[in-house]
Amino acid sequence: MGTSKPYDLLVLGGGPGGYVAAVRGAQLGARVALIERDALGGTCLNRGCIPTKALIESARVLSLSRKMNAFGVEGAGTRLNYPAVIRRKEQIVSRLADGVEGLMRGNGIDVHRGNGMVLSPGCVKVQDRQGGEVTLEGGKIILATGSRPARLKLPGIDSPGVVFGEEALSLAELPGSVIIIGGGVIGVEFACLYKEFGCQVVIVEMENRILPREDREISAHLQKRLSKDGIAVLTGACIESIEGERGAVGVILRHGSESMRLSAALALVAVGRAANVEALGNLPLRYDRGFVVTNARMETGISGVFAVGDLRGGMLAHVASAEGIVAAGNALGHETVMDYRSVPGCVFSSPELASVGLSEEEAGKKGYEVEVGRFSFAASGRALAMEEGDGFVKIVSEKSIGEILGVHIIGPHASDLIGEAVLAMKLEATAEELARTIHPHPTLTEAVMEAGADTLGEAIHVLRRKRQPVLAGRLRSTVEQPV
């Protein structure tokens, strides 16, 4: 067993939390080692965010091609070439993975391939695939070991024809029908994807609505849209068992007082994830529901040991990266803390969802006097030009001063539009300031401006029964000020 010369920083795990932490450490002048047992980029790049979005984009183009006549474009029609879709997905993943490798080389980061095991704070043993071992020592360590799909304790979960999200990305051929167990982000995205590819889809969700963490009004709108598009949605349903059938999968569930049996070619389990903790050895870490607990500086409570990303239960790649930057800074003497008040979330469904901050219900429970503004994409010239008039922007604000508490979007390019709302909340802007900011026309961003104006009762392209007065003390619009 060899021992390398000491590093300033050891990073265990090369996903979006780990490799970003490593780059930040190198930027701060540290000698950094990154330990990764698989491909750099982690689940997000190789088996999650990126490959699913590549497939979803193919589905979007296919959907658009089916609307050609609505745009006045005539053609012989289109068909799906599924093997070509998979090849494109793999090419995109490979290109981005090569980019991360280049970042490591360019920043002088030593990448050690193999299974890492923490022996003690600041000491990691790495075993490569050939059986060779090396012990790495460092002043500080950042744990970024990620997560994996949770294994449900369900009879028949290992039956043939039952797959998890990561496996579903590389199926050799499309199934004719799919039962998706779980109506969260992963389940909904795959449902929309498979439906566009021509599969019969059923979503089974234990809660009383899909996407239960989203604003209730938003998730209700999406559920109606999914049903309209031919996706069957069973909420309030409890899976009792799974049975392998001849060339199919049977799912036995209870829906209310009724016992049901569903059958499909494939069952996709999209329920929860579990932290990868095997490499953490005997570190006396504190856990909550299986995830490592840290403070806002990403410190674990053990001197010199930090943790970021899915290991903490965050499950968002962009949060993992932000935590990695904070952890590297603190590990190397640069005081900084995480700010979770304006973290966006996106669902790449059809239509897309995106949100930041509190839902209307959450704001009410926290005691805020809430003012809500909405603007429908049906009134957006740009959205109609795109044949994407379904959905709306919803802004939840505090009534007295107009503080933005949350923004929720369902509609075209929601994942892009939410960036403005995130910045507005980060800068503590008010809904009125959004409303008074001139947005380009005709664009989708005008919907955000109009929703802000609607909280004041001033949206131009919204008819209201009664115009609400602008509250005293708020900013006055340009037209209200004397010349």
Structural contact between residues 187 and 181, judged by C-beta atoms closer than 8 angstroms:
yes
Strands (E), 159-247: 162-164, 177-181, 200-205, 232-235, 237-245
Strand partners, 237: 255
3-class SS at 162? Answer: strand
CA atoms within 13 A on the CB side of 101: 9
Q: Report residue 417 as tokens.
A: 């539009």
Residues 6+ apart with CB under 8 A from 55: 85, 89, 169, 193
CA–CA distance, 467 with 279 (Å, rounded to integer): 61
Q: CA of 281: how far to CAs of 4, 118, 120, 124, 295, in Å?
A: 20, 5, 8, 10, 21
- Per DSSP, 185 falls in state H
Closest CA to 372 of 401, 407, 345: 407
Structural contact between residues 10 and 35, judged by C-beta atoms closer than 8 angstroms:
yes
Q: Identity (one letter) of the amino acid at 445?
A: T
Residues 6+ apart with CB under 8 A from 369: 398, 399, 400
CB under 8 Å, gap of 24 or more: what pairs does 458-462 form? 459/373, 459/375, 461/375, 461/379, 462/374, 462/375, 462/379
Neighbours of 291 (CB within 10 A): 21
Structural contact between residues 312 and 320, judged by C-beta atoms closer than 8 angstroms:
no
Strands (E), 300-421: 305-307, 344-347, 352-357, 370-376, 392-398, 404-411
Active site includes 461? no
User: Which of 318, 408, 439, 441 does the annotation list as catalytic?
Assistant: 441
CA–CA distance, 297 with 140 (Å, rounded to integer): 14
CA–CA distance, 166 with 185 (Å, rounded to integer): 14
CA–CA distance, 239 with 152 (Å, rounded to integer): 10
Residue 351, preceding peptide bond in cis (omega within 30° of 0): yes
Q: Which residues are catalytic?
A: 441
